[in-house]
Amino acid sequence: VVVIDSGLGQAWGERDRARYRVDPEVPGLGQALAGIGVDPAAVTDAVLTHLHFDHAGGWVERDADGELVPVLAGAVHHVQRAQWEWAEQAAPRDRGSYLAERYQPLSRAGLIQLHDGEGSLFPGLEVLRFDGHTPGLQAPVLRGETGSAVAFPADLMPTLSHGGSNWIMAYDLQPLVTFKDKQRFLERAAAERWAVVLEHDPEIEAVRVTAGAEGFEFTPGACPATI
């Protein structure tokens, strides 16, 4: 069982809840898994696209003593080395997006596995590496037995509004690298007919990409339940 990105999680104090508008109705990771019949202890692998807290804040929860501890205590947590080192040096430009208390418990528990670049983590799961949003963002691509695939580009393409190659978040550290990153991602997404999940889009779960005469075109839909 593989989990990709945890979201914000629920282990926040009142001030942060208000600031980030954490919805108390949305369950934390452990509860969410239990809600779909998956025992958190049965999860073998967690893929962290990157360590910004809105994607990686939910890998930990508070125990009875109020300590932040891993939710998936039996899972290998896969991260790109470049992203881990970037977070550790706490660069001023996106320092506010890294909270060591959210990812250090994973390291202390020996659950972190660092990777250098692209490749297959195991059969059916490949990661692509992009550096424009933040160094060492990895986008997992899950491949099914029928040849269909689902990709999670995370903040390379957070919403459908960022679908076109030119529509890049001002927040990205290297916008021109994002431009090339996205072009490369979308070419493969179109050629291989991936369902592309939009982690930040409030309305659209996923899109299919086609290469049109005037650029890429996007057809919204649901993330396929099976591949």
- Residues near Zn ion (CB under 5 A) are 52, 155
Residue 203 beta carbon to Zn ion: minimum distance, rounded to whole angstroms: 20
Residue 63 beta carbon to Zn ion: minimum distance, rounded to whole angstroms: 27
Intra-chain end-to-end CA distance of the chain, in Å: 14
Q: Which is nearer to Zn ion, 53 or 190 (CB)?
A: 53
> What is the side-by-side order of every strand in the sheet holding 149-151?
119-122, 125-130, 137-143, 149-151, 195-197, 206-212, 215-221
Q: Which is nearer to Zn ion, 45 or 155 (CB)?
A: 155
Residue positions counted in the chain: 227
Residue 188 beta carbon to Zn ion: minimum distance, rounded to whole angstroms: 21
Evaluate whether 97 touches 53 at the Cβ level (below 8 Å): yes
Residue 217 beta carbon to Zn ion: minimum distance, rounded to whole angstroms: 25
Evaluate whether 143 touches 194 at the Cβ level (below 8 Å): no
Q: Which is nearer to Zn ion, 10 or 134 (CB)?
A: 134
Q: Which is nearer to Zn ion, 4 or 190 (CB)?
A: 4
Inter-CA distances, 187 with 1, 65, 165, Å: 29, 49, 11
Location of structure tokens 């202890």:
41
Alpha carbons 168 and 155: distance in angstroms, whole number: 10
Q: Which is nearer to Zn ion, 200 or 208 (CB)?
A: 200
Residue 155 beta carbon to Zn ion: minimum distance, rounded to whole angstroms: 4
